[in-house]
Amino acid sequence: MRPTCFSTLGCDELEWPAIAALARKYDIREVELRALGGQLDLPASLSQKYGQPEAFARQVRADLLRIPVLDTSLSLAFHDEVSRNAFLEFIPWAEALGGTWLRVFDGGTFSSLIADATLNSAEATLGWWRELRRENKWASDIIVETHDSLCSSQSVERLQSRLSYPVAILWDTWHTWFKAGEGPKETWNRIRPWVRHIHYKDGWRDPILDFPYRYGIPGQGEFPLEELKTAISPNSYRGLFCLEWERRWHPYLPPLEQALQEIFAHTI
């Protein structure tokens, strides 16, 4: 299954011109921005290189690409004034791009059902954001990644039931499978109304370094990729299918371009 997007977490050392060239080489028109030129602080990196948000947005348009998601480090469960302010620094860049999803983490720790304290914190943070967004008439909005406390579909359902209107979900398919033990079909059937973006990767349950798993080329590991492909057929999902090649955190992985070469060589 070919990606329609990739995250720059897999090529964090590259500057935008090289990222754009890599995307065009594989006819990928959407890039999720997580890192740039070795930096994870995107607002600082972009400001240093482009000065103003409009200048970067013009470059992205000139490259005939789109950035659907800007990855922030805000956590719904654990946050303070410093982390909220750091999150807000993304807004001018997101708005200049025409309004993007702003990835935030769920935060907390994994359990089969999200803890009450984590749920209360998430609800409060979303309330803070939604009031601020409404006041400023921003086009950009939060999308929450299933990374920790929301790895079970039941936890996602519980959060949505507490909100006046749903929050968009970035479904990290590896985490719901590895942490919650849910098959992709089961998870998709329960959270599909809220999924707007999907991360996929593959690997094995073998521990490596400080991680309880080891990543590899999609289609070569233990993750049930065919089940995921069937579950999110074009008739039921029209969002992006984003390769999250986590070479930044897992340096044993080969370069992103090598992964793309192998994926495209073995899929139709």
The per-residue pLDDT for 267 is 73
**Backbone φ and ψ of 168, nearest 5°:** -70, 145
What are the contacts of 158-163 at 24+ separation with CB within 8 A? 158/113, 158/114, 158/119, 159/114, 159/119, 159/122, 159/123, 160/194, 162/119, 162/123, 163/123, 163/126
Q: What is the SS3 string spanning 138-177?
A: CCCEEEEECCCCCCCHHHHHHHHHHCCCCCEEEEEHHHHH
Q: How far is CA 55 from CA 45, 48, 60, 107, 240, in A?
A: 13, 12, 9, 33, 26
The per-residue pLDDT for 233 is 85
What are the pLDDT digits (tens) for 106-133?
A: 999 999 999 999 999 999 999 999 999 9
> Rounded CA gap, 181 and 47, in Å?
41
pTM over 0.75: yes
The per-residue b/e assignment along 219-239, b for 16 or more CB within 10 angstroms, e otherwise, is eebebbbebbeebbeeeebeb
Contact assessment for residue 145 and residue 103, using Cβ atoms and an 8 Å cutoff: yes
Pick out the chain residues at pLDDT < 70: 268
The per-residue pLDDT for 268 is 57
